[in-house]
Structure 1
């Protein structure tokens, strides 16, 4: 079964909510980036929360980028998502060693840190990017997304994300939810929601049921107490083709490409977001080099023509 995100509204129209099962996408991200057990949990939580945020706040061809810099040992966490269900991301230190808390559980907050900035950049066609910022408040990631929405965008929200690992460091379950209060929500309804969130089972337990994301929504609102608005498949963003990386290499100066040929006999490029490697042979680099040399020659020729025209105007 493919990873899925479901959007609903409660029958009393007090809340809208999103729930997702992203077990496969987190597992694929872990494999691509060769993350440690702790890094898998951190990156997984960030990917899940970013996907939820994108579906809750974007439309059309918009996309968003989230950067978390809590100054912890895992370094910066960067994620991106669009409206079509595609998400990608990376952490600066994917090989971080396990850190545990007093309960001998993975210490996500200790790895991420809570002394830095949380930045969301939204991109829309034909307009300037919108940048929103808040502070890192816990390093648990879900809490940090919640704080951003509540304090930066003034949207009362709760985001919860979780990644549970198997003993062999593979992903057992990964998912999350977001609940947002609508204008008609009363204080009593908000208090009742808060209690239900505190009493709900662990996400891993809920995702183990056949209902998937619906099990999360049932645990929060009760069975049949909401109307489904949308269901969509989600997953990792497609890896750019090798040609895209060749185009990036073609932007380098010719002497740098020549050095790759002479010193290394080729080049290996690893996608920052995908973690996947692409290898360019010396012959492939030479083809790119010839294009760059032609471009540099054309640029030099144009520069000489411009200088001659300027000299003529002065005379």
Structure 2
């Protein structure tokens, strides 16, 4: 079954609300990066929050890159998403050993850290990237996305994300929601939402009931208080083909590729976002080297001619 994201609006037109059931994409990411239990939760939360952020903030061909740098032992948490439902990401230290709090629960904030920033870079065709930044407020990820959106958009917003692991360190369920106030919302409506959020069922417990994305929002607003706007499939961004990595190798200086051939007899390229490995043997590198040497010869001739 594909993962799903829904977009809704409350019947009183006070809020728009998105929800995502992303269990499969989080498990795929955990497997691709061979993440530990705590790293799986951190990466999963970041992927879910980024996908929700992208659907709420981007248009057309825009895409976003988000970097959480809290100076914690997990290192940087980096994610990317577009408007079409594709998301990807990685953490610097995917094999981080579990860190627990006084309740013997995973200490996500302790692993991410709070002494740092959340940097958001939005890319749009034919324009310069927009870069925004805010301080991390909790290290729990959902709260940090919430703070950034409230600061950057000046719109009351809340993002909640959750990832639950099973006893075998596999992703049991993963999901989240984003709620944003619409123009004309009243203080009474905001107060009611705040009260409803305090009474909501914790996400892991709710997802354990297999309620899906619709059930996440129904738990907050009720079954009959939402109008569906859109349903879309979401998933991990496709891994670039090996040919794309060959083109990247072809941008290196010839002496670097020659060293790979002479000293190592080949080269292994690891996709930072996908975790997948691509091996180039001596024959493949020799072909790439010839293209580089031809390019360098042309550039040298052009420079001499000038």
- TM-score, normalised with respect to structure 2: 0.98
**1:157-192 alpha-carbon deviations (Å, 9 max, x no partner):** 000001000010000000000111112222222111
Once the 2 structures are TM-superposed, how far is the Cα of residue 155 of structure 1 from its aligned partner? 1.6
Instruction: Write the distance in 2 (CA, Å) between the matches of 1:58 and 1:267.
Output: 37
Instruction: Write the distance in 1 (CA, Å) between the matches of 2:152 and 2:139.
Output: 17
Report the counterpart of residue 132 of structure 1 in structure 2. 132
Report the counterpart of residue 251 of structure 2 in structure 1. 251
Superposition CA RMSD, Å: 0.9
Report the counterpart of residue 215 of structure 1 in structure 2. 215
Report the counterpart of residue 53 of structure 2 in structure 1. 53
Instruction: Write the distance in 2 (CA, Å) between the matches of 1:248 and 1:131.
Output: 26
Stretch moving more, 207-216 or 144-153: 207-216
1:90 matched to 2:90: yes
1:270 matched to 2:251: no
Instruction: Write the distance in 2 (CA, Å) between the matches of 1:115 and 1:152.
Output: 20
Instruction: Write the distance in 2 (CA, Å) between the matches of 1:230 and 1:151.
Output: 27
Gaps of 5+ in 2: none
Stretch moving more, 135-144 or 202-211: 202-211
**Which has the greater radius of gyration?**
1
Instruction: Write the distance in 1 (CA, Å) between the matches of 2:265 and 2:49.
Output: 42
Stretch moving more, 187-196 or 240-249: 187-196
Q: How many residues align?
A: 306
Contact 1:68-1:119 within 8 A present in 2 as well: yes
Instruction: Write the distance in 2 (CA, Å) between the matches of 1:128 and 1:155.
Output: 24
Report the counterpart of residue 234 of structure 1 in structure 2. 234
Contact 1:209-1:215 within 8 A present in 2 as well: no
Q: What is the SS of the residue equivalent to 2:131? A: strand
Spell out the pairing of 1:113-132 with structure 2 (5 A cutoff).
113-132=113-132
Instruction: Write the distance in 2 (CA, Å) between the matches of 1:221 and 1:184.
Output: 18
Once the 2 structures are TM-superposed, how far is the Cα of residue 210 of structure 1 from its aligned partner? 4.4
Instruction: Write the distance in 2 (CA, Å) between the matches of 1:226 and 1:152.
Output: 27
Once the 2 structures are TM-superposed, how far is the Cα of residue 116 of structure 1 from its aligned partner? 0.9
Report the counterpart of residue 39 of structure 2 in structure 1. 39
Instruction: Write the distance in 2 (CA, Å) between the matches of 1:116 and 1:130.
Output: 20
Report the counterpart of residue 142 of structure 1 in structure 2. 142
Report the counterpart of residue 70 of structure 2 in structure 1. 70
Once the 2 structures are TM-superposed, how far is the Cα of residue 200 of structure 1 from its aligned partner? 1.1
Instruction: Write the distance in 1 (CA, Å) between the matches of 2:281 and 2:156.
Output: 53
Report the counterpart of residue 108 of structure 1 in structure 2. 108
Once the 2 structures are TM-superposed, how far is the Cα of residue 280 of structure 1 from its aligned partner? 0.5
Report the counterpart of residue 81 of structure 1 in structure 2. 81
Q: What is the SS of the residue equivalent to 1:234? A: strand
Instruction: Write the distance in 2 (CA, Å) between the matches of 1:106 and 1:11.
Output: 38
**1:80-109 alpha-carbon deviations (Å, 9 max, x no partner):** 000000000111111111100011000000
Report the counterpart of residue 184 of structure 1 in structure 2. 184
Instruction: Write the distance in 1 (CA, Å) between the matches of 2:130 and 2:302.
Output: 38
Q: What is the SS of the residue equivalent to 2:153? A: coil
Instruction: Write the distance in 2 (CA, Å) between the matches of 1:297 and 1:186.
Output: 68
Once the 2 structures are TM-superposed, how far is the Cα of residue 206 of structure 1 from its aligned partner? 2.1
**1:246-285 alpha-carbon deviations (Å, 9 max, x no partner):** 0000001111111111111111110001111101011100
Instruction: Write the distance in 2 (CA, Å) between the matches of 1:15 and 1:5.
Output: 17
Gaps of 5+ in 1: 307-315
Instruction: Write the distance in 2 (CA, Å) between the matches of 1:42 and 1:280.
Output: 32
Report the counterpart of residue 206 of structure 1 in structure 2. 206
Contact 1:163-1:175 within 8 A present in 2 as well: yes
Q: What is the SS of the residue equivalent to 2:60? A: coil
Instruction: Write the distance in 1 (CA, Å) between the matches of 2:204 and 2:115.
Output: 29
Once the 2 structures are TM-superposed, how far is the Cα of residue 60 of structure 1 from its aligned partner? 0.6
Instruction: Write the distance in 1 (CA, Å) between the matches of 2:170 and 2:103.
Output: 21
- TM-score, normalised with respect to structure 1: 0.95
